[in-house]
């Protein structure tokens, strides 16, 4: 497991965060979407804006700077990690692993299953697998992963 080398925190998001979050999503997802032949610069942003729910989304902050986001939504049968993006300059230092670990403990106390999906070939899949996620199903574009909750 990665060891985080930066101090970080999470803050609540608001509707005013939506534009930069949509832009971050476009930047982070572009390589995978282009590789899959599915990159559309308008659609990648609009899909985020259409689904953005501030009440489920938190901003990842490092040294007072917003560097990412994680959106977690509870359903009756599972907790969905819907959006998890870090600015490229904040990747590779264990930050994503630390944020994910905290969210899994925080939201997993009730024993619900965690679910998420990543694009085929995305390096993010390795992060999730290190945290106990396993293959649930997949298609030509998406890989659906699941993990048992961490009970306190």
**What does the pLDDT read at residue 2?**
45
**Please, which residues have CB within 8 angstroms of residue 55's CB and are 6 or more apart in sequence?**
none
Conformational region of residue 94, where left means phi above 0, alpha means psi within -120 to 50, and beta covers everything else = left
Superfamily of 8-147 according to CATH? Gcn5-related N-acetyltransferase (GNAT) (3.40.630.30)
pTM for this one? 0.92
Please state the φ and ψ torsions of residue 31, each to the nearest 5 degrees: -55, -45
Q: Structural domain boundaries of the chain?
A: 8-147
**What does the pLDDT read at residue 150?**
65
Element (H, E) at 3: none
How confident is the chain (152 residues) per 10-residue block, as mean pLDDT? Answer: 72 98 98 97 98 98 97 94 96 94 88 94 96 97 92 48
Q: In what order do the strands lie in the sheet with 57-62?
A: 8-12, 57-62, 65-74, 78-86, 113-119, 142-147, 134-138
């Amino acid at each position: 497991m990665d060891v985080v080398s930066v101090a970080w925190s999470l803050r609540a998001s608001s509707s005013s965060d939506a534009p930069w979050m949509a832009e971050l999503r476009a930047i982070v997802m572009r390589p995978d979407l282009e590789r899959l032949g599915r990159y559309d610069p308008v659609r990648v942003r609009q899909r985020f804006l259409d689904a953005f729910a501030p009440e489920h989304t938190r901003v990842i902050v490092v040294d007072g700077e917003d560097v990412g986001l994680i959106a977690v939504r509870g359903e009756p049968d599972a907790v969905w990690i819907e959006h998890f993006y870090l600015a490229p300059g904040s990747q590779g230092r264990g930050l994503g692993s630390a944020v994910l670990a905290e969210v899994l403990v925080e939201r997993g106390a009730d024993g619900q299953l965690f679910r998420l999906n990543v694009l085929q070939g995305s390096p993010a899949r390795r992060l999730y697998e290190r945290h106990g996620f396993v293959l649930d199903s997949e298609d030509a574009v998406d890989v659906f992963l699941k993990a048992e909750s961490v009970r306190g």
